[in-house]
């Protein structure tokens, strides 16, 4: 998948005009790129459009218009765009109450390594987690992790042909799995080449 460049971005002025329509398009796009694994864990799958939105929002909020600073934002977010043989996701542990979240994050050390994906019952694919920086301490994990699932050619073919796809977590403190629906599978298949 093509990485973003400055040519893909709206200027701050143009974005202020385009933002409502662009935001609506991105939110509709994201609706089929979300996989809940049980009640408190969600994968939000990223691609060029979701990252363009993230960059545009950062530029808008920070009022960034200098070329080198724009490039810094692109350099930060481009690694989250899939490369054709993988899926990339923001993994979030979502607990509404602060005390409950704090307690859960202390119990869920290593949860990002307990996530898996299977295509058509094949071997479980474990993601590469947090390539940008360590997000866990000795006593708690982060509520947000960045994951990369590398798929084999056979798994890509199965994914694209509609074979059953499951995501799960097999952590001792949190165990759930889900089969994704057709809409989600088709949306994520667009990230894969082959």
DSSP string, 119-177: ETT-PPBPPEE-SSS----SS---SEEEEEEE--HHHHHHHHHT--EEEEEEETTEEEE
In a shared domain, residues 7 and 91: no
Residues whose CB is less than 8 angstroms from the CB of residue 82 and which lie 6 or more positions away in sequence, other chains included: 1, 46, 47, 88, 191, 192
How confident is the prediction along the chain (194 residues), in pLDDT tens digits per residue? 789 999 999 999 999 999 999 999 999 999 999 999 999 999 999 999 999 999 999 999 999 999 999 999 999 899 999 999 999 999 999 999 999 999 999 999 999 999 999 999 999 999 999 766 566 677 889 999 999 999 999 999 999 999 999 999 999 999 999 999 999 999 999 999 96
In a shared domain, residues 98 and 179: yes
In a shared domain, residues 25 and 98: no
In a shared domain, residues 67 and 120: no
pTM for the complete prediction?
Answer: 0.91
Tokens of residue 132, six digits: 């940008």
In a shared domain, residues 173 and 126: yes
In a shared domain, residues 27 and 6: yes
What pLDDT is stored for residue 134 in this prediction?
Answer: 65
What pLDDT is stored for residue 139 in this prediction?
Answer: 85
In a shared domain, residues 101 and 186: yes
The domain of 20 spans 1-31+48-81
In a shared domain, residues 73 and 135: no
In a shared domain, residues 126 and 193: yes
The number of domains in the chain is: 2
What pLDDT is stored for residue 127 in this prediction?
Answer: 96
What pLDDT is stored for residue 183 in this prediction?
Answer: 97
What pLDDT is stored for residue 138 in this prediction?
Answer: 78
In a shared domain, residues 71 and 130: no
In a shared domain, residues 94 and 173: yes
- Spatial distance between the Cα atoms of 71 and 120, rounded to a whole number of angstroms: 40
In a shared domain, residues 101 and 173: yes
């Amino acid at each position: 998948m093509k990485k973003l460049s400055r040519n893909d971005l709206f200027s701050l002025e143009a974005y202020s005009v385009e933002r409502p329509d662009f935001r609506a398009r991105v939110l509709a796009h994201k609706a089929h790129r979300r996989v809940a694994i049980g009640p408190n864990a969600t994968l939000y799958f990223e691609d060029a459009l979701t990252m363009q939105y993230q960059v545009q929002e950062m530029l808008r909020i920070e009022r960034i218009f200098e070329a080198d600073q724009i490039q810094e934002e692109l350099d930060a977010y481009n690694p989250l765009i899939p490369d054709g043989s993988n899926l990339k996701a923001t993994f979030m542990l979502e607990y509404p109450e602060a005390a409950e979240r704090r307690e859960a994050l202390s119990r869920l050390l290593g949860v990002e390594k307990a996530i898996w994906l299977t295509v058509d019952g094949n071997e479980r694919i474990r993601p590469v987690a947090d390539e940008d920086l360590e997000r866990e301490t000795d006593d708690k994990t982060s509520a947000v992790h960045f994951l990369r699932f590398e798929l084999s050619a056979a798994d890509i073919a199965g994914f694209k042909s509609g074979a059953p796809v499951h995501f799960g977590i097999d952590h001792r403190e949190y165990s759930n799995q889900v089969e994704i629906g057709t809409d989600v599978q088709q949306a994520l298949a667009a990230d894969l080449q082959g």
